[in-house]
Structure 1
Amino acid sequence: MEDVLAAVRNTAAELISRSVQPPTSLNVRVGEVAVEMAWQPAAVTAAPVTVDGAVVPMPVVAPAVAPAPIPAGPTLNAATVGTFYRAPAPGTPPFVSEGDQVSPGQQIAIIEAMKLMLPVEAERGGRIAEVLVGDGEAVEYGQPLFRLATDDSELAA
């Protein structure tokens, strides 16, 4: 049973990390193994949604808060919604710090999403110029986490 649960958890984590838009809910059922994920629609339509002939009320979505300004230069971004952690465990050194050189595919942080610890890997190589998110802060999909230096003189400042 633990093997099935681990396989379902790993599959859900992979689906979340590969999703273009993070899901709004995830349901896992172990008996008769099932994973159900739901996404918020990209655009709200005026047509009512019906299930078995009954109109389903749609939730009202609050307007989004204005996003923080995008930093100048290349960034390494969140692949999912969740809680950002710089280190593998409390009290341990962070995966990367300002001034560190990173390579594509290198783990640079963790995002906790729905009780899953998902590794954050660098999409591109470069030198970390600035950490943009505090440890334990909530992050959104696509949010810049680290800013990369555009040249070495930027790190001397």
Structure 2
Amino acid sequence: MTVEVKHQPSRGRIALTGDGSGGPDQVADLAELCRSIAELARTSTRPPRRIRLEHLGTAVEVEWDEASAPVTDPRAAPDPAPESEPADGTHHVCAPMIGTFFHAPEPGAPPFVAVGDTVIPGQPIGILEVMKMMSPVEADIAGRVVEILAADGAAVEFQQRLIAVEPA
């Protein structure tokens, strides 16, 4: 598969185009391309404004608004603005991207966490499904779960609050 990469940071756009003549490896290439796009979107400081995929013509476009173009050098990234925490000191674990939030690893299984549970950083608190890919959502602070804010199977937005944690 021939792939041409164009990067136009002034418009916050990355486009991939190819000749579509990949033969038997084309399905594997498409799957890898989808994984790469999902990872690119996941590592950006903001979600892309638009993602376009085309299968046989092999065209992929990921586009950000000018103000939300991804930062390519992590050392050049500004510190993210601290999210305002409630006066009571509760911390919120937020969705790292848009998708469907699930409380349990599979239907009928017990949830990862419940109100009253203690969590530690890195502990799974749910799963986020994005384009049929499952990504764990992990606690980023140690503490006690005081509220589950997102319903099981709910569509969530980027940085939407999922659970409230009372820091330890």
Shift of 1:148: 0.5
CA spacing shift, 1:138–1:4, aligned 2, 3 Å: same
Supply the distance in 2 between the matched residues of 1:82 and 1:38 (Cα, whole angstroms).
18
Q: Does structure 1 residue 144 correspond to structure 2 residue 161?
A: yes
Structure 2 residue runs without a partner (length 5+): 1-24, 69-84
Cα–Cα, structure 1 residues 24 and 116, in superposed 2: closer, same or farther, change >3 Å? farther
- Given the superposition, is the C-alpha separation of residues 119 and 35 from structure 1 closer, same or farther in structure 2, using an over 3 Å criterion? farther
Distance across 2 between alignment mates of 1:83 and 1:149: 24
TM-superposition CA deviations, 1:43-101 (whole Å, max 9, x none): 9xxxxxxxxxxxxxxxxxxxxxxxxxx75511111111122111122222112222222
- Match for residue 8 of structure 1? 33
Taking only aligned residues, the RMSD between alpha carbons, in angstroms, comes to 2.6
Cα distance per residue 1:101-124 (max 9 Å; x no partner): 222222221222233323212222
TM-score by length of 2: 0.62
Please show how residues 59-70 of structure 1 align to structure 2 within 5 Å: none
Instruction: Indicate yes or no: 2:49 matched with 1:24.
Output: yes
Assess if the C-alpha contact under 8 Å between 1:4 and 1:30 holds in 2: no
SS in 1 for 2:32: helix
In structure 2, what is the equivalent of residue 155 of structure 1? Answer: none
**Native 8 Å contact 2:142 2:167 kept in 1:** no
Quote the sequence identity (%): 42
Higher relative contact order (CA 8 A, sep 6+): 1
Once the two structures are TM-superposed, the CA of residue 150 in structure 1 deviates from its matched residue by 4.0
Is residue 2:152 matched to residue 1:135? yes
- Give the aligned residue type for 2:29: V
1:73-152 equivalences under 5 Å are 73-150=90-167
Residue 129 of structure 1 aligns to a residue whose secondary structure is strand
Aligned residue for 2:93, secondary structure, equals strand
Residues 5 and 88 of structure 1: CA distance in aligned 2, closer, same or farther (over 3 Å) = farther
Distance 2:35 2:132 in 1: 12
**In the aligned structure 2, how far is the partner of 1:135 from the partner of 1:85?**
5
TM-score normalised per structure 1: 0.66
Q: Which runs of 5+ in 1 are unaligned?
A: 44-69, 152-157
